[in-house]
Structure 1
């Protein structure tokens, strides 16, 4: 026996159908054997459309039952809610789902026009970002990003992901306190108690499920950490709290002095700076750099030596830019299975995609098909520079009803530094045919011959001829000129 059918509210569609047939509300009500007031309530979505009335309408007005189905409306509602969630300048407060649904029902033509305008806006935004990326490659100053998160990412990149004041302060604390990687958790807990009267007193049993990983109760001097947190994450957040308590004024001053457009970006920057301090405290500069050289940058062995996660080690390797004591200039990236980039920084010339997803030929995408396995690739960018790229999935934990947060990290350097990495073993570094030709993303990639291209690049005309057809339905015209 089937369950109850969902109620159908189709007032606007019924009104448009009625007026298109040049029927008055009173006339249609008579044909349907309804009172005009009842039909008026249906058209105003104050009442659902009864099944028997729906059947009579379909016969009387010669339309298929699917005309009144909700599927098309639900699709448009999803599009509208996604567009309304776009963090446009001044897009506050958030639009409630019920409001979006009411707007779609009351004015579908206006909603359709809004969605068309939003699609045009997004296309222009993508073109703008691609042009920004090309200008940055040419050494032209990059204007401020539109989104706070992008502003912070760009600012971190402009500093090569290295903040000497915080990095040196963390290293000094590690050395002056006599901390060691093997005892660091107890060292930090003792330091918090002695220096700040903060005690790690108990755990948050519903932490990960509620979205809370730690909570500092300054009134009682208690630091609460989520019960199911991985040991390396627990260690990181202990270091993060130390950074907030001891370097808070420095962090505020650095964020306030950065060229951000508003408070959201400054708040995100403060979190990022505290995270930088935490990473430097867990993996102190000179000791970590020496170990990285000794172990030939073997991330898994560095994990075990310092009690850190794979991601933490990769990120720290990309920050070793102290003047006169630089490490290998790495790029670092973290991405989810949908291609969303949550972290990116580069001490090399590597060009990240700022929009539209990363190149599908890059090995970071393949990592999700082989979880937990380190993948190595030689890749060449359109500018001719070859990189040694390493990628692996990260994440874990969770439970049957709370899936883990999974992602993949990519770490790489120019092939000129490959001899310092264990990941170069067995690779034909001198073979010009070995590297995979990748790019920064289709919109910004200049490779005209790529058979994996999903969309044309910005700034070039297209030749869409009819005499022949290749793998792509167009050819990219160099220099922006169409063929004569």
Structure 2
């Protein structure tokens, strides 16, 4: 196991608390010389010291976690892919480990640079090579995504509120639907009726106090919509407080965040944290069995599994993704360090795209990223049919993944040799930043690397990469 050297982070924590070395050493129960060696990266940060730091300061141990470091490394590699000088992985790791604030600043600067370019190109398409001044650095929906990412996709106050309501109301699996109808009527004088056929899934009229729910939805989906409306009624103040985060800079972003937080509460109410985690562990995270037990769909279960990061009762740290046939990612949440590229596109060798060829079937994949990190992925399509003949429906592929070290806890690992590195499919983040030079599925040249263009030679690999210092084959 790799030793963890976090001296700079520990020194920064001490300086922020305005403590001398001797004071911090005394608080941690270690010698001043030992603390000095840790801060100088001459000694690793051990688990007993880390737990003592957590006990003394009450800080999130994620500050010193290898997962956070790995996330920074992958995001740095993405951000620095276009640098004029090639930067080695060792240099990137050194920056992420010892100067994480600088690393995050570089990532933020590059992110804003890319977003500015993309916004300019989009405006040029619309306005004929003109552009508009002003505008925020990020689109509102991206701000909301960043908000949930900053919370590791776990909103503890909403989880606690949902569990309290679940117990007080006497809810039980597959009985929440009727309970919500009764609670809305009894406590809020709101009547739930079926909406007219159409595209609206939920519509509340505050004047008539009628909540319209689409009859095309399954019982679990209807319960989710009712629970979302209940969130605005019963935990609206809490949602407002959470949506006041400085990450959300505009009214549109805050409105979108409120909806996202209400949806989070709805999922937490249908699938209360402690009960759901215990059942998931008992059933080895079998998504379809969990869906039958709680009376909700595949996507709802996957989404909820990606939120189980309560410090004292953590589930498997999952990443969740929803894509369409064109490769557009409409949802992505991560409770851990898997890196979703911001460059655009994703790897065609990823099992999530094969799911469209086998609709309704659960597919599995052990996949390895270029940095050597290996993951277990589960993917399946979900379909939402149209309300009438001739109206288009919606089909998505849902994928749930976790680091290979957690794979043994999942029923989906059965039959895989998790200790065999050669069993993993080599995938990448996105073609533009993927370092796999021999991939036959490459769709774009790698950013920052010259293409070995040779008129007299054809290879299976599109856009072969020229070796550093090689002469132009022409």
TM-score (norm 1): 0.69
Alignment partner for residue 173 of structure 1, among 143, 146, 165? 165
CA–CA distance in structure 2, aligned partners of residues 375 and 134 of structure 1: 35
In the alignment, what sits opposite 1:349?
337
**Structure 1 residue 472: deviation in Å?**
3.8
Deviating more after overlay: 293-302 vs 223-232: 223-232
TM alignment of 1:68-147, pairs within 5 A:
130-131=78-79, 138=96, 140-141=103-104, 142-143=107-108, 146-147=138-139
In the alignment, what sits opposite 1:150?
142
**Structure 1 residue 316: deviation in Å?**
0.3
CA–CA distance in structure 2, aligned partners of residues 482 and 213 of structure 1: 59
1:277 corresponds to 2:265 = yes
In the alignment, what sits opposite 2:28?
none
Alignment partner for residue 218 of structure 1, among 197, 206, 216? 206
**Structure 1 residue 482: deviation in Å?**
6.0
**Runs (5+) with no aligned partner, structure 2:** 1-75, 84-91, 113-136
In the alignment, what sits opposite 2:458?
469
**Structure 1 residue 400: deviation in Å?**
2.3
TM alignment of 1:322-401, pairs within 5 A:
322-398=310-386, 399-401=388-390
Distance 1:449 1:233, change over 3 A: same
Answer whether contact 1:160 1:347 (CA < 8 A) is retained.
yes
Alignment partner for residue 418 of structure 1, among 407, 411, 418? 407
CA–CA distance in structure 1, aligned partners of residues 82 and 156 of structure 2: 29
**Structure 1 residue 183: deviation in Å?**
1.4
In the alignment, what sits opposite 1:309?
297
Alignment partner for residue 408 of structure 1, among 389, 397, 422? 397
**Structure 1 residue 474: deviation in Å?**
3.6
Q: Which has the larger radius of gyration?
A: 1
1:227 corresponds to 2:215 = yes
Per-residue CA deviation, residues 60-101 of structure 1 (Å, 9 max, x unaligned), is xxxxxxxxxxxxxxxxxxxxxxxxxxxxxxxxxxxxxxxxxx
Distance 1:475 1:344, change over 3 A: same
Distance 1:310 1:366, change over 3 A: same
1:205 corresponds to 2:196 = yes
Answer whether contact 1:381 1:438 (CA < 8 A) is retained.
yes
Secondary structure, in 3 states, of the residue corresponding to 1:463? coil
Deviant stretches of 4+, over 6 Å? 132-137
Secondary structure, in 3 states, of the residue corresponding to 2:320? strand
In the alignment, what sits opposite 1:56?
none
Answer whether contact 1:464 1:473 (CA < 8 A) is retained.
no
**Structure 1 residue 356: deviation in Å?**
2.9
**Structure 1 residue 412: deviation in Å?**
0.9
Answer whether contact 1:279 1:312 (CA < 8 A) is retained.
yes
Secondary structure, in 3 states, of the residue corresponding to 2:244? helix
CA–CA distance in structure 1, aligned partners of residues 432 and 145 of structure 2: 20
CA–CA distance in structure 1, aligned partners of residues 404 and 325 of structure 2: 27
Answer whether contact 1:133 1:354 (CA < 8 A) is retained.
no
Per-residue CA deviation, residues 104-139 of structure 1 (Å, 9 max, x unaligned), is xxxxxxxxxxxxxxxxxxxxxxxx995279999955
RMSD of aligned C-alpha atoms? 2.3
Answer whether contact 1:382 1:438 (CA < 8 A) is retained.
yes
Deviating more after overlay: 151-160 vs 136-145: 136-145
1:439 corresponds to 2:428 = yes
In the alignment, what sits opposite 1:162?
154
Per-residue CA deviation, residues 321-380 of structure 1 (Å, 9 max, x unaligned), is 001111001110001111111110112221113343221000110101110000001100
**Structure 1 residue 408: deviation in Å?**
0.8
Answer whether contact 2:439 2:461 (CA < 8 A) is retained.
no
Answer whether contact 1:214 1:237 (CA < 8 A) is retained.
yes
TM-score (norm 2): 0.70
CA–CA distance in structure 2, aligned partners of residues 453 and 287 of structure 1: 44
CA–CA distance in structure 1, aligned partners of residues 437 and 143 of structure 2: 31
Alignment partner for residue 442 of structure 2, among 431, 453, 459? 453
In the alignment, what sits opposite 1:266?
254
Answer whether contact 2:441 2:462 (CA < 8 A) is retained.
no
CA–CA distance in structure 2, aligned partners of residues 170 and 393 of structure 1: 29
CA–CA distance in structure 2, aligned partners of residues 363 and 405 of structure 1: 20
Q: How many residues matched?
A: 352
Answer whether contact 1:462 1:474 (CA < 8 A) is retained.
yes
